[in-house]
Amino acid sequence: MKYLVAGGSGLVGSAIVRELERSNKDVVGISRKNVDLLNRLDTFDYLQRFKPDVVIDAAAKVGGIGGNSAFPVEFLTQNIQIQSNLMDAAHSAGVEKLVFLGSSCIYPRSSPQPIKEEFILTGPLEATNSAYAIAKIAGIELVRSYRKEYGHKWISVMPTNLYGPNDNFDLETSHVLPALIRKFVDAKNNGADRVTLWGTGEPLREFLHVDDLAKAINVCLDKYDDDSHINIGSGSEISIKKLAEKVAAYANFQGEIIWDKSRPDGTPRKILDINRILNLGWKPLITMDEGIRNTVEWYQHQR
């Protein structure tokens, strides 16, 4: 079988490519250098020529609170275009299996914790990333619709906050953990005596190393076939303040941490119920400390 990973050079896609290669799968990862998924004709042409048996959609325009708040139009329209172009092209090319990767931001801001899959669309979204969330919800519905209308064995997976090598460390567009890593490593290297962070540090978040996610997707390819999306997370949570302290320690930054409380915190708490994926025989293996230490070292090496 031929596997195609869209977004294959990014954080998630590159981890999936590595995992499938370890499983001796015939896999190709593509990025915008190979085909622009915003271009519908080019996307159709590429899939018709490549003829994959399995497509994993890890391609998306992503960012943190700042990026989502500043560019909601781009986050909504570009993500809808990417996923609809890819799925429509996969259907046209007769792709047997497809995995769509969503995001835990699809759930209501005040969702009961831990968040079960059925809690989707039961309340208002977090305002700071609602455009991105709506795009991902549309992707879930498109997968469900293709299953219903054409009988495709396509699935949707909802990962929690991810981190690891090949992440986006741009302070304007990155998520919280890579942003923290860059700030503390750069502060250490530059001899700064303080680092200023957004919000209060009080929100609770769940994090999963991207290599654990890749293993979970491999399991889902073999064992999951349902029109409901499936949560993938670590099952544990940490406050942003404690997370910052861990990153600072591994970056060997010993200065002051200042919290800018005029900046938004985002959702107060978000942890996924992962019983479905646990019941398939998967469990996360990389601890938070191990994952942060390795990612800090990776970033330092890249710098």
Q: What is the pLDDT of residue 264?
A: 85
Average pLDDT, the chain: 96
Please report the pLDDT score of residue 63 as a whole number.
78
Tokens of 13: 């896609």
pLDDT tens digits, residue range 231-246? 999 999 999 999 999 9
Give per-residue pLDDT as tens, 247-295: 999 999 999 999 999 998 888 899 999 999 999 999 999 999 999 999 9
Q: What residues have CB less than 8 Å from 265, skipping those under 6 apart?
A: 198, 199, 200, 202, 203, 240
pLDDT level of residue 189 (50, 70, 90 thresholds): very high
More confident residue, 174 or 100: 100
Tell me the two tokens of residue 269: 């708490």
The partner residues of 92 in beta bridges, in order of sequence, read: none
The residue among 101, 196, 147, 163 whose CA lies nearest residue 293 is: 163
pLDDT tens per residue across span 59-69: 999 877 777 78
Six token digits for residue 131: 């455009």
Q: 303 pLDDT exceeds 80?
A: no
Which domains can be identified in the chain, with CATH numbers?
2-166+207-234+271-285 (3.40.50.720)
The one catalytic residue among 3, 46, 107, 132: 132
Question: Strand pairing partners for 5?
Answer: 29, 56
Q: Does the pLDDT at position 166 exceed 90? A: yes
Residue type, 40: R
Nearest to 35 by CA among 86, 102, 95, 91: 86
Find the mean pLDDT for residues 202-225: 97
* Bridge partners of residue 259, in order along the sequence: 197
Q: Is the pTM of this model over 0.85?
A: yes
d(CA 249, CA 130) in angstroms, rounded, equals 33
Which one has a higher pLDDT value, 145 or 302? 145
107 catalytic per annotation: no
Which is it for the CA torsion 15, 21, 27, 33, positive or negative?
positive
The predicted structure's pLDDT at residue 173? 79
Instruction: Look at residue 11 in the predicted model and tell me its pLDDT.
Output: 96
Condensed to tens digits (0 to 9), the pLDDT of residues 88-139 reads 999 999 999 999 999 999 999 999 999 999 999 999 999 989 999 999 999 9
Distance of CA 260 to the CA centre of its chain: 26
pLDDT in tens, 12-55: 999 999 999 999 999 999 999 999 999 999 999 999 999 999 99
